[in-house]
Structure 1
C-alpha cells in the first residue's frame, strides 16, 4: 500500500468519538503542554505508540497476545515492580560494600574470621551485624547525596 503525505481515511461516528476522547485526554497531559494537539497530531501519536508497543519491541508476538499482555499490566504492578527493583539495587549496593569491606579486612588481617566475630546474619540478633548494616546504609545514603551533588554541579557547568 502506498501512502501519500495527505491521506483520506474512513472514520465511523464511534471512531470519531473515540478520537475526540483521545484528543481531550492528550490535551490534559503535561507531556504535551508545549504543543498543539489537533487531529493530525493525535493520529501521529497513535501511530508512534502502536509502533513502539507492538512492532518495534515485540514484532514476533502475535497482536492479540501482545494486547492481552498489555491489558494485564496494572498501575499497582508497575509500582510494585519499581519498589522491588529499588530494593534489589539497594541490596546489590550493600553486597558490593560488604565485599569491599571484607577484602580490605582480609588484606589487613590474615587471621580474621568473620564467623568468630559475628553471629549468624540470618538469626538477626547480632548487635555487630546491625551496627555494620546501619553503617553500610549510611554510606549508601551519603553516596547518593554525593552523586546528586556531582550531577547538579555538572549540570550547572553545562549551562
Structure 2
C-alpha cells in the first residue's frame, strides 16, 4: 500500500503546474490572484548597459515582451512585441505595473503585475498555456537594444492561470 501511495503522490507532482524558473542566473516566479499575474524577476548576471527580457510565446515573431534595461546603472521596464529576428518594437508606455525595480551589484530584481486577460495595444492575453522565453542578457548602445549575447531559454507549457 505504501508503494502505491508513493506512486500516486509522485504522479500528481509530475502533473503539478510549475510556477517558477531558475537557470542561467535568472530566477522567475509567478502567481495569479483575482485575474492579475504577478511576476518576480531576478537576474544576477546582467551588467550595466545591458538588457534582459521575458517573451510570451515560442517563436521570435509575435512575442509579447517585457524588457528590463540597465542604462548607466538605472533600471527601467518596457513592454513591446517582436516582428521576427531583431530588436522588439517597444510601447510608448509600459503595459505592466511596476511594484519594485532595483539594480545593485549586477543584480536586477523586479516585481511586475499585469492582467491575465487581453492587455496593451495588441490585446495580448496570458490566460492560455504557452511557452515563455527568457533572454538572460544582451548589450545596449545608447539605450538601444542589440542582439542578445546569451541563448534564450524556453519554459514550455506555462499556464499562469493555474498558479
Fold shared per TM-score above 0.5: no
Structure 1 or 2, whichever has the larger Rg, is: 1
Greater RCO (Cα-Cα under 8 Å, separation 6 or more) = 2
Tell me the TM-score normalized by structure 2: 0.20
More helix by share: 1
